[in-house]
Amino acid sequence: MQRKFEGDGNAYQEIEFEQVQEPNAYSSIEPNPVPERPNSYGDFEYEMPIEVLLEFPKENVHQKSIIGEGTFGKVARAEAWKLAGKEGPTIVALKTLKDNATGEDKKSLLDEFELLKHIGRHKHILSLVGCCTKTDDIYMLFEYMELGNLQDYLRKSRNCIATEYLEAGETSPILTSGDLIIFAGQVASGMEYLSSKKCVHGDLAARNVMLNGGRICKVTNFGRDLRSHNNVKEGSQRVRWMAPEAIQASEFSTKSDVWSFGIVVWEIVTIGHTPYPRMSDNEVKAYLKQGGRMKKPAYCDGDLYLLVMKCWSEKPKRRPKFKEIASELEEMELDKEVYIDIKGAYEEKITTTE
């Protein structure tokens, strides 16, 4: 039974129909690809090189500057000398414990290391490239992502687009409809791989997708302790990416990740706006409970929005699989249609809680 979605987003309804036209629809270590299903997003598994499983000498890592902090760790830009047998330095992201880290923090970092070993490597997953776990001063080395996270990149691009329009009055060369479809497809490919490893992300959002210098998206911060979602901090706005069953019953699964992916696509389409503009977190919860969905932006193609609405099906089992999503987005990329009017995305004013 197929379904389609109608309405302006203020009301949500599923109606049966007989037929709907489908949308045309590392920098340092060389991977060994094992193709599953060829597509333009490089959707295949990478075998983790033996070098990654070996301890990397601490004396070969030179920290440069702190670039971020998390719950129990901090991340710095660093140089790793002779990484994977290469001469000279490789720029990496160095993750270590904070100075005031507890024994539980150390366990959390080791748990993350074990998860990353299990996950292995994929073109659209932020990959581990080295580690030191045999001393008290634990660290992990990751690919360095020059362009930061996708949320910030989109918002910076939006500002650049504004400047370009004011100066040139024409389509910005910084982002195109095709670029945005590729971003969405790459995230879907990474999530397809994670789901194949039976890994639930639990916090999929544009802020948890990183971009390297080649504008390749890589999913990160997956598989964390999902119990932390039970006490979402006021003002964190994390609830805006959560599926109804995750909000109401703390039920997290690949299907709740699919819902969150739909929100990520909305972020991409709007070039980094915060979901559910003009709503508080409590209003978002009530809105979803009533069956509400964010309306289609005027500059977004109906086929792309239909895919998003499938991700937001009330019943998890009706949501598509990531493999199906990645395939549909690949077809959108290949058919060269304009699915997102970039100029329209810039010109539509959205008051958000950013």
CA–CA gap between residue 58 and residue 139 (Å, rounded): 9
Catalytic residue among 203, 257, 281, 303: 203
Q: Rounded to 5, what percent of the chain is helix, strand, coil?
A: 40, 20, 40
3 φ/ψ sector (left φ>0, alpha ψ -120 to 50, else beta): beta
Q: Are 271 and 345 in contact (CB under 8 A)?
A: yes
Tell me the DSSP string of 250-262: ----HHHHHHHHH
CA–CA gap between residue 140 and residue 208 (Å, rounded): 18
- Residue 332 is which amino acid? M
Is residue 203 among the annotated active site residues? Answer: yes
Tell me the DSSP string of 44-112: EEEPPPHHHHS---GGGEEEEEEEEE-SSEEEEEEEEETGGG-SSEEEEEEEEE-TT--HHHHHHHHHH
Q: Which two tokens stand for residue 19?
A: 């037929």
CA–CA gap between residue 159 and residue 146 (Å, rounded): 19
Residues with a known catalytic role:
203
